[in-house]
Structure 1
Amino acid sequence: MNSVVSANKPVRDYSEQLNALQSGCYADPFSFLGLHPISANEYELRVYLPGADSVSIELKKGPVKLKRYLTSDLFLLSLTTPLSHDNKLIIEYSKQKQIKHDVYRFGCHLDEQALYLFNEGTLEHAYQHLGAHFITHEGVEGVRFSVWAPNAKSISIIGDFNCWNRCEHFMRFHPASGIWELFIPQLQPNQCYKYSIVDGYGHVQDKADPFAFKMQQAPGTASVLQPLKKHKALTDTQRLERAKRNHVSAPVSIYEVHLGSWKRRPTENNRYLTYRELADDLIPYVKDMGFTHLQLMPISEYPFDGSWGYQPVGLFSPSSRFGSFEDFIYFTERCHDEGLGLLIDWVPGHFPSDPHGLHKFDGTHLYEHADTRQGFHPDWNTYIYNYDRPEVKSFLLANAIYWLEEFKIDGLRVDAVASMLYLDYSRKNGEWIANKYGGRENLGAIDCLQQVNTRCYGTDSSIMMIAEESTAWPGVTNTVDNNGLGFGFKWNMGWMNDSLNYMSRDPLYRQHHHHEMTFSMAYAYSENYILPLSHDEVVHGKGSLLSKMPGDDWQQFANLKAYYAFMYAHPGKKLLFMGSELASRHEWDHNKGLEWHLLEHESHSAIQKTVKQLNKLYTTTPALYECDHTPAGFQWIDCNNAAQSLFSFARFGKESKELLVVISHLTPQVYHQYTVGVPKSGVYEVVLNTDDEELYGSGVKVVGTTQQLVQTQSTPSHGFEQSIVISIPPLATLYLRWITG
């Protein structure tokens, strides 16, 4: 039984500790607060509760009131025996009474081995150890808070559970790891919190939790308590399907989406669709269109809508713009149930300067380089991670693993890789610092990317890691053991730039730029490529894809259809940004939904039909995807016909029967009785003609038969022993499939 020592004992001098508590800066709160031995037979309970009228503690013989220290908010009680966790505090405020555990009676719950790996830069599951976690500690349910801030002088947890008072929940510091932690019982999901950090100069700043699983939507800046709920496990069938659809020899057709502007609810204040609404609307649409993968522009929480998610503050928080954490899980599970690959954009290259974010997190340049020549991005006014710091590597590695493992995401498309690789990226002479060898390569970033890719593929080899890398950096998709970066795929920015430049020219002048459509084959097998027509090509004054096409209205649509078909036949996986299938006339606006009303017009509807038909042909024609990564899958028939702006080539699958002849003609002329050499004799079937009347074309018939079949003849042409004679429609791409010998 607990015995209370006489309250008439002389008062000790706690003025120094009280000053620290009142100032909100206490570096070692556990050394003073809580229960402490005073002598062999005496203990003193010290509780600091700002605003409390009185404090009592429940003992077996009943509540015993603590004595207020002078006129302060420090309350004291002397005991002859220790307390158990069953003894709770009874706190009287002016308008309420609370019964709470004393947070300074709980021991540390951190895993020392995990902290060692975190400091080493290799902790894959750092998000399970840092941040706010609902746990049962010493028989009591509550939340364990932990945050890395080695240079802070003091840290308090503030939130709506303590009226945002930084003088109540001081954290305990672990100097060896730089981690601060505190266990607070009786907290509930959806309560808001931050870390109130006092730096070495005495300045105070309130920061969001870098590892928070949920954050307030802007303009709110607080983290939100969110249990880490497990995603439904993939079935064996789903795992096999995923491994198949993400393989380098699989058909990969990606629909890139900005969730905030795919559709809006105009009649409801133009609000966003929720994750659940998107699951019921977007996923069936993508499936019906024949895409194999859905790629989401960044959904990690971001303050500024105009950044489209590329300036995230909450890397571990699915954006609350579209609903709850559980709603996002529902969305991902629906993708898996429908057999739709789900990719998300991942942004490890920089972070914004929002005051509640990572910048000068503990008063020092903790996550970013201190030198602006390495730590500040001049193009985006953002900060660059210090990839040389092991804890930053653990942070980014854990974030990549988090999305893949906790939500079973198919893969990550890594944004702006080039900006990470080069120390002089977008900098003039004198504005950057060379590496230790005198070069321009960012060695820390290279190592970080290699480690992320190695660990992610090591965790699950069926995923996709995709690089948006805009330079000729060698070996982006080579394995790390083979001196590569370890990505599975790379965006082919060269193809995109060259082909769009060509297509934007008047057909009269295209003959002088023929190489812009053929040059990509000179390096097509240097990496595992994805051909992207992404959001970047329809913003910032660039106009829509349709508006880039020359000619009158009909010619613009004809050009776009022919271009899409050329893209789908070119070696490399495919990516189209949302709205590309609608042939929007205006460039993308993130504040509005897509122009779905355009489908009421035959011309726009024809583009959608073309994309749907292309996806069906692509995913069912092995010649178009099986050998993307090897020269065995492609052969030019005629790459030199610049005068007629005509390109012809053959695509091959792994089996000899898989053969497709592709012809793209990019002038408004019509050519009859045109001879094209082909690799095999036999019968070819026209399976696509973008000039078909059903696709808003002029209706020029490629062959005279109603079955759209053409027999080869023994007339050599283009270096082949066999040839076919067909009509070539204007501004059109043709697919002819070999069907019999």
Structure 2
Amino acid sequence: MTDRPAVTLSGTSLLPRDSEVDKLVRGVHGDPFSILGPHADGDGVVIRAYLPNALGVEVLARDSDEVLSSMDQGQVPGLFFARLDRPQPYRLSIRWAGGAQVTEDPYSFGPLLGEMDIYLFSEGNHRYMGKVYGAQVTEVDGVPGVRFAVWAPNARRISVVGNFNSWDGRRHPMRHRLPAGVWELFIPRLEPGEPYKYEILGQYGMLPLRADPVALATEMPPGTASVVAAPLEHQWSDQAWMDTRAARQSVEAPISIYELHAGSWRRDGGDEGRLYNWHELAERLIPYVQEMGFTHIELMPIMEHPFGGSWGYQPLSQFAPTARYGSPQDFAAFIDACHQAGIGVILDWVPAHFPTDVHGLGDFDGTALYEYAHPFEGFHQDWDTFIYNLGRTEVHGFMLASAVHWLREFHVDALRVDAVASMLYRDYSRKDGEWIPNRYGGRENLEAIDFLQHLNEVVALEAPGALVIAEESTAFPGVSKPVEQGGLGFSFKWNMGWMHDTLKYIQENPIHRTYHHDKMTFGMIYAYSEHFVLPISHDEVVHGKGSLIDKMPGDRWQKFANLRAYLSFMWTHPGKKLLFMGCEFGQWREWNHDRELDWFLLDEPDHCGAQKLLADLNSVYRQQPALHELDSDPKGFQWLIGDDRGNSVFAWLRRDSSGYPLLVVANFTPVIREGYGVGVPRAGGWLEIFNSDAECYGGSNVGNGGWLEAVEEENHGQPATLSLTLPPLSVVILRPQ
């Protein structure tokens, strides 16, 4: 197309130059507002609209059905123009082959985002992106519709596409807000529920359609479109919980976490049944968690993720709950119901990496935008994923805003940050020559460290009382140390070393445990270096590792006895507790995300006994301050017997802040030990308040009759001695009468 003289009236072009029209038709025009919409023409105004496949267009008054003008056809089909004698609000009445459409003109609205919203985004400190960017149902100049905003600084043109415009990118190209690289458009009369994507023209051509990075809702997988979400208007009824949350989640509080995968805890109809929605899950899960005595649940990632087999750990929508279980409103109602039942909710959250699906964040605008450009920095070989470039200001802010979104909008009580170790080190899982040092020549990822510190500072301000928990498997110093003291600032850290050591010990045949005795005591050497959570998580019961019960040696009875003793050891050891679903009743098979747990096993006494033991452990743990109050204070723990490797016996004291003691004794052999002397701080009566070998748990019911007396005889540095009967493969807890 060659340029022709433009049609003019009163000295103003009614039609743009052919070259500009050509760009519009080919979908390469980067500034559609320079052509479309109203443009001053002396005392009047020229209105232009590009509506491919439209049969005709009339201009109507905004507040009535008065026809102000019929629009004429321009140089190409679909390009319409008209002139009004004076500027005024208007609508377009568009005739399509399938019917008529009356709507305001998207190109009649001025710039949408405020300067402060753009400034804060560019600065990496816009904490409420979920309320501003993406698709926001709103009103502009009194007109209802949806405002779209997306960051893509290197794109040549971006359009919003969906069913509402037949996925035609020529219909709704966006305005580019320079220099921030943000694109925006208001589409009048669009309503919640509409699927949409972004059509992006990169520097080297058209890209696959992209989902919205700040989408608040998505299609049900395998669909990949974002969905316009109604504003979250849940009426919260959890004020009593929120007012007491900080105390419930302090380092002195009992915290016992039930980790679960929402799609495989239970299903409607068993293994092949449909997934429960959030309301149905709440009706079943909350009473169970209450009955079992857990203080919190931890949900494996529920952010939208394309591949169910990733269990949510490869999310693409950092602001949208997965559509698998319902709407964002449904998820808010689920959390509210948990809070009203006295149960905290922890979300797994993944700021380390994201999947390579073509509709996702990778190469978003034709360049490495969210990820590092160099594969030595930006590609994770183990997981076939991209690594967030948290050193880029906008990406740093994007992930901060995601964290704040879950904590503030959904009242989430804690984020458990996945794969922190992979974020901290540039050489994580890389060979020599496959990683790029930091600016000082070291292996630490300085920008990720800065992000994690900033994250923890921001959470403390934006969501008081909320926790941030690190899954961190190395000896990186100060993970749960305050940022102002040089630490990362996390509330707690998963104690992966304790988990590996103790699982290695308990899997040994009891006759060989004498050679591995230190694995059960080593954790106390560093127990107060961090605020720890003791995790037996999903990672320990998948990928051929076997279930927790199946790790145990011996015959069936011994396997269950070992399981009961191990869980009892864990619940009496310093540190908060986390247990993956199914471990509480001894599920035999490995966890499978496509099947529900084997609840039928509870028809068998030993499985039911293990479940009852765990419920009673939670009860004792919550009721006895000595078992949780000084988890982070060395005064709360004292070894009495840590060196009896010949008998595989351990004994220790737990104390509360007043010094009140509990005695814990563990026997990790299948031998009954009678008359076993243990030093205690008080003579007189001691009550046996817990025995993992009790008959009601499936044990042999060996014990001390519920009560025995300590005599004044110095032993193990204590002034008195108890002569105990130690049941086989067991843990007993006693307290002074």
Which TM-score band (shorter chain)?
A: over 0.9
Aligned counterpart in structure 1 of residue 72 of structure 2, from 56, 67, 75: 67
Q: CA shift at 1:71, angstroms? A: 4.3
Distance 1:147 1:383 in 2: 20
Q: Quick one: which of 390, 393, 396 aligns to 2:396?
A: 393
Task: Work out the CA distance in 2 between the residues paired with 1:217 and 1:265.
Answer: 18
* 1:267 shift after superposition: 6.4
Q: Which residue of 2 aligns with 1:175?
A: 178
- Asked if 1:737 is matched to 2:735, the reply is yes
Q: Which residue of 1 aligns with 2:362?
A: 359
1:266, distance to aligned residue in structure 2 (A): 2.6
Instruction: Please tell me the residue identity of whatever aligns with 1:338.
Output: A
Aligned with 2:101: secondary structure? strand
Q: Which moved more, 1:250-259 or 1:277-286?
A: 277-286
1:285, distance to aligned residue in structure 2 (A): 0.7
More displaced stretch, 22-31 vs 444-453: 22-31
Structure 1 position 695, deviation (Å): 1.0
- C-alpha separation between the residues in 2 aligned to 1:233 and 1:111? 30
Do the aligned partners of 2:417 and 2:470 also contact (CA within 8 Å) in 1?
yes
For normalisation by structure 2, the TM-score amounts to 0.97
**Aligned counterpart, 1:307:** 310
Residue 436 in structure 1 maps to residue 434 in structure 2: no
Q: Is the aligned partner of 1:670 residue 2:672?
A: yes
Query: Residue in 1 aligned with 2:417?
Result: 414
Q: What do residues 268-302 of structure 1 show as CA deviations (whole Å, max 9, x unaligned)?
A: 95211110001111111111110000110000000
The DSSP-based 3-state class of the residue aligned with 1:726 is strand
| Contact 2:710–2:721, Cα closer than 8 Å, also in 1 | yes
Structure 2: distance between partners of 1:219 and 1:305: 10
State the 1:204 CA deviation.
2.9
Correspondent of 2:223 among 220, 223, 231: 220
Name the SS for the 2:205 alignment partner: coil
**1:629 alignment counterpart:** 632
Shift of 1:445: 0.3
Distance (whole Å) between structure 2 residues aligned to residue 262 and residue 24 of structure 1:
48
* Alignment pair present for 1:547 and 2:550: yes
Contact 1:141 1:186 in 2 (8 A): yes
1:59-82 deviations in whole A, cap 9, x for unaligned?
A: 475352111114421001122211
1:346 pairs with 2:360: no
How far 1:202 sits from its partner (Å)? 2.2
Is the 2:58–2:67 Cα contact (8 Å) retained in structure 1?
no
Distance 1:497 1:735 in 2: 25
Tell me, yes or no, if the aligned pair for 1:134 and 1:142 is still in contact at 8 Å: yes
SS of 1:413's equivalent in the other structure is strand
Write the distance in 1 (CA, Å) between the matches of 2:76 and 2:674: 101
Matches within 5 A, 1:667-706: 667-700=669-702, 702-703=703-704, 705=705
Is contact 2:14-2:46 (8 Å) kept?
A: no
Distance 1:524 1:10, change over 3 A: closer
- Among 51, 54, 65, the alignment partner of 2:53 is 51
Counterpart CA distance in 1 for 2:38 and 2:709 is 94
Pick the aligned partner of 1:20 from 12, 18, 23: 23
Residues 230 and 406, structure 1, Cα contact 8 Å, conserved in 2: no
The one-letter amino acid of 2:341's match is E
Residue 378 in structure 1 maps to residue 378 in structure 2? no
Which has the larger displacement, 451-460 or 523-532? 451-460
Task: Name 1:160's counterpart in structure 2.
Answer: 163
Q: Distance in 2 between matches of 1:664 and 1:240?
A: 39
Residues 193-592 of structure 1 correspond to what in structure 2 (within 5 A)? 193-233=196-236, 236-266=239-269, 269-592=272-595
Structure 1 residue 210: Cα displacement: 0.5
State how far apart, in whole Å, the 1-side matches of 2:13 and 2:709 are: 110
Report if aligned partners of 1:349, 1:417 keep a CA contact under 8 Å in 2. yes
Is contact 1:349–1:416 with CA below 8 Å preserved after alignment?
Answer: yes
Q: Match of 2:657, as an amino acid?
A: K
AA at the equivalent of 1:479: P
Residue 193 to residue 684, structure 1, CA distance change in 2 (3 Å): same
The 8 Å contact of residues 477 and 489 in structure 1, kept in 2 or not, is answered as: yes
Partners in 2 of 1:459 and 1:92 — Cα distance? 49
1:718 correspondence with 2:716: yes
The more displaced of 253-262 and 107-116 is 107-116
Deviations 1:3-44 (A, max 9, x none): xx999x997563212221221222001111011124x23431
Residues 11/732 of structure 1: CA separation in 2 closer, same or farther (3 Å cut): closer
SS of corresponding position for 1:433: coil
Asked whether the equivalents of residues 45 and 84 of structure 2 are also in contact (C-alpha less than 8 Å), the reply is: yes
Matched position secondary structure for 1:603: helix
Go from structure 1 to structure 2 and tell me whether the alpha carbon gap of 1:261 and 1:735 turns closer, same or farther (over 3 Å shift): same
Counterpart-to-counterpart distance in 1, 2:621 and 2:144? 54
Aligned-pair distance for 1:336?
1.3
Structure 1 10/179 Cα, relative in aligned 2: closer, same or farther at 3 Å? Answer: closer
User: Measured at CA, do residues 244 and 585 of structure 1 come closer, stay the same or move farther in structure 2, by a change above 3 Å?
Assistant: same
Q: CA deviation at 1:176?
A: 1.7
Question: Contact between 1:232 and 1:333, CA under 8 Å: does it hold in 2?
Answer: no
Identify if the C-alpha distance between structure 1 residues 71 and 375 changes in structure 2 by more than 3 Å, giving closer, same or farther: closer
> Which amino acid is the alignment partner of residue 729 of structure 2?
L
CA deviations 1:315-370 (Å, max 9, x no partner) are 11101101112111110110111111110000000000011110011100000000
Deviation string for 1:76-133 (max 9, x for gaps)? Answer: 112221131xx21111111211101111000112121121121111111122221111
CA distance in structure 2 between the aligned counterparts of 1:13 and 1:328, rounded to whole angstroms: 50
For residue 662 of structure 2, what is the aligned residue in structure 1?
Answer: 660
The answer to whether the 8 Å contact 2:14/2:82 transfers is no
CA contact (8 A) 1:213 1:228 kept: no
Q: Which runs of 4+ in 1 moved over 6 A?
A: none
Asked if the contact 1:111–1:129 (Cα under 8 Å) also holds between the matched residues in 2, the reply is: no
So what's the TM-score if we normalise by structure 1? 0.96
- Alpha carbons of 1:185 and 1:696: their partners in 2 closer, same or farther (altered >3 Å)? same
Name which of 82, 103, 108 aligns with 1:77: 82
Give the Cα separation in 2 of the matches to 1:405 and 1:230. 13
Percent of counterpart pairs with the same letter? 47
- Code of the residue aligned with 2:502 in structure 1: it is S
Instruction: Tell me how far 1:461 sits from its aligned partner.
Output: 2.7
Verify the 8 A CA contact 1:231 1:408 in the aligned structure 2. no
**Residues 79-98 of structure 1 mapped to structure 2, 5 A cutoff:** 79-84=84-89, 87-98=90-101
**Equivalent AA in structure 1 for residue 97 of structure 2:** S
Picking from 132, 136, 152, the partner of 1:133 is 136
Matches of 1:429 and 1:268 in 2, distance apart? 45
Is the 1:231–1:407 contact (alpha carbons within 8 Å) kept by the matching residues of 2? Answer: no
CA offset digits 1:439-477 (Å, max 9, x no partner): 111010001011111000122331111000000000000
Structure 1: distance between partners of 2:402 and 2:250: 23
Given residue 639 of structure 1, which amino acid in structure 2 is its aligned partner?
Answer: G
Distance 1:268 1:630, change over 3 A: closer
Runs of 5+ consecutive residues of structure 1 not aligned to the other structure: none
Cα deviation 1:477-518 (Å, max 9, x = unaligned): 011000000100000000000000000000010000000000
**Once the two structures are superposed, what CA deviation does each residue of 1:222-254 show, in whole Å capped at 9, x if it has no partner?**
000002314434655322321121011000000
Task: Give distance in 2, aligned partners of 1:50 and 1:592.
Answer: 49
Query: Aligned pairs, how many?
Result: 727
Secondary structure of 2:406's aligned partner: helix
The residue matched to 2:354 in structure 1 has which SS?
Answer: coil
What is the rounded CA distance, in whole Å, between the counterparts of 2:534 and 2:474 in structure 1?
Answer: 15
Larger CA deviation: 579-588 vs 55-64 = 55-64
- The answer (yes or no) to whether the contact 2:37–2:49 under 8 Å persists in 1 is yes
CA RMSD of aligned residues (A): 1.7
Equivalent in the alignment of 1:151: 154
